[in-house]
């Protein structure tokens, strides 16, 4: 299943959207007539992950909302960790043995980077393999544990998934390195 996750996360936008069900709705809140009378809000469901969906209605422009929903859905898919099967375990072990390219610079990665969801999926898989211990996962990417913690704290969805995983392994919650 995790191989499929990587295929989904690396798919071009058009192919990704073909695998999703889209619905449009009328957003609420400030924005005037265009926002209140036009269905620019977007809700996405991926067919392989029916329990996950993403919504976006922050912009008055429908296409911007679509891109925002795609980003949110990809992060949701990347953080949906299940217990690895034997074939997935082989892939994760292989990942853990080699240095992986970090998609950012100086210990930072922009969530709008197209490789960000793949990076998060790799982090989640490695956390499962290493019983939610950050140090070996960070070293695979050439990062310090503090740098990885900062990346995790920059995204509420990722932080929630990592916290849940750490609790499953009996580890304490992460401490925000920014204080």
Q: What is the pLDDT of residue 3?
A: 84
Q: Please, which pLDDT band fits residue 115 given cuts at 50, 70 and 90?
A: very high
> DSSP labels for 29-80?
SSSHHHHHHS--EEEEEETTEEEEEEEE-SSSSHHHHHHHHHHHHHHHHHH-
- Smallest Cα–Cα separation from 44: which of 30, 57, 54, 34? 54
Segment 104-109 shows an average pLDDT of 91
Q: What is the pLDDT of residue 39?
A: 84
Distance (Å, whole) CA 146 – CA 138: 9
Structure tokens at 20: 């999703």
| CA end-to-end span of the chain | 37
Q: Please, which pLDDT band fits residue 31 given cuts at 50, 70 and 90?
A: low
Q: Do residues 9 and 74 touch, judged by C-beta distance below 8 A? A: yes
pLDDT at residue 10 tops 80 = yes
pLDDT at residue 127 tops 60 = yes
Distance (Å, whole) CA 58 – CA 98: 40
Q: What is the mean pLDDT of the chain?
A: 86
- Percentage of the chain surpassing pLDDT 70? 83
Q: Phi first, then psi: what are they for 49, rounded to 5°?
A: -130, 70
> Tens of pLDDT along 33-44?
555 567 888 999
> Tens of pLDDT along 158-171?
999 999 999 999 99
Q: What is the pLDDT of residue 62?
A: 87
Give Cα separations from 32 to 28, 36, 38, 111 (angstroms): 10, 6, 10, 29
> Tens of pLDDT along 51-104?
999 999 888 888 999 999 999 999 999 998 766 555 545 554 555 456 778 999
pLDDT at residue 179 tops 90 = no
Structure tokens at 163: 């916290």
Strand partners for 20 = 46
């Amino acid at each position: 299943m995790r191989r499929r996750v990587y295929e989904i996360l690396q798919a071009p936008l058009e192919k990704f959207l073909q695998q999703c069900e889209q619905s449009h709705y009328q957003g609420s809140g400030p924005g005037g007539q265009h926002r209140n009378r036009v269905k620019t809000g977007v809700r996405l469901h991926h067919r392989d992950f029916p329990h996950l969906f993403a919504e976006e209605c922050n912009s008055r422009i429908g296409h911007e909302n679509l891109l925002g929903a795609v980003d949110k859905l990809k992060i949701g898919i990347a953080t949906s960790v299940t217990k690895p099967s034997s074939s997935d375990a082989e892939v994760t072990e292989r990942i853990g043995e080699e240095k992986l390219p970090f998609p950012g610079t100086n210990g930072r990665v922009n969530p709008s980077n197209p490789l960000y969801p793949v990076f998060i999926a790799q982090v989640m898989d490695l956390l499962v393999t290493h019983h939610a211990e950050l140090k070996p996962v960070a070293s695979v990417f050439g990062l310090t544990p503090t740098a990885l913690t900062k990346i995790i704290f920059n995204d509420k969805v990722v932080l929630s998934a990592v916290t849940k995983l750490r609790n499953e392994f009996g580890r304490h919650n992460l401490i925000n390195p920014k204080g």
